[in-house]
Amino acid sequence: MRLNKYLAECGVCSRRKADELIASGKVSVNRKVIIELGATVDETKDVVFVDGKKVLPVTHYEYVMFNKPKGCITSTSDEKGRKTVYDYFDEEFKSKRLIPVGRLDYDSEGLLLFTNDGALTHKLTHPSSEIPKTYIVKIEGEIVESDLAILRKGVVVDGVRYGKSKVKVLATEKIKTNDGERTLTRLEVIITEGKNREVRRMFEAVEKNVVFLKRVAIGDLRLGGLSRGGNRELNDFEVAYLQKL
């Protein structure tokens, strides 16, 4: 088995993060440091260490839904001292080493899954799976049909092409401010890729500023009425649904 896959299936981190750990010399196999990204291990007899700590296979998978508030990052720690998603969990949860499935940026909120199931994490985050993720977005001002058509077709930002998306206007509202009135447009956006800051960059391409961004669903798994900062375990039906996606 590839070493990065083994680390992911042991619940250490995602495969991408595992590659970073390997490249930085933090992973050893049978006490020998490995830096080759394509390295493999025999999971039946090799002993793997990360930062000197022995990595053990997961014997029990757990799946948790979290309603991420804005103002925290999807990481275990931050060199800038910002709040992280793990600050919303107790020490017992942290000891389980569940990792986020993908990420939401600092100013975004909504549905975030945590698990120690590396295979499911890889499937839900890999672009080839094309699993739809639904967001509620608010932008400043109104948006014309020609801009919606550009978003649906897929935009190019700084040489990076973003895939097709489904975009639907839900409502336009006017709110009072100290300077008068402010117009906001609320939309539903469904994407299947999940590149870094993808939704925000899509709207930047049509010169629209996102002021609110919330993920409300992964496939048909919806956030529902879970409070901000709250979490709950997925039930057996929900886990089975994700595994079949």
> Any catalytic annotation for residue 105?
yes
Question: Whole-angstrom Cα distance, residue 149 to residue 143?
Answer: 11
Cα angle for residues 64, 66, 70 (degrees, 5° grid)? 160
Task: Point out the catalytic residue in the list 19, 78, 105, 220.
Answer: 105
Question: Whole-angstrom Cα distance, residue 192 to residue 75?
Answer: 22
Region of 11 on the Ramachandran plot (φ > 0 left; ψ -120 to 50 alpha; else beta): left
Q: Tokens 């002993």 belong to which residue?
A: 47
Question: Whole-angstrom Cα distance, residue 74 to residue 225?
Answer: 21
**Which residues are known to be catalytic?**
105
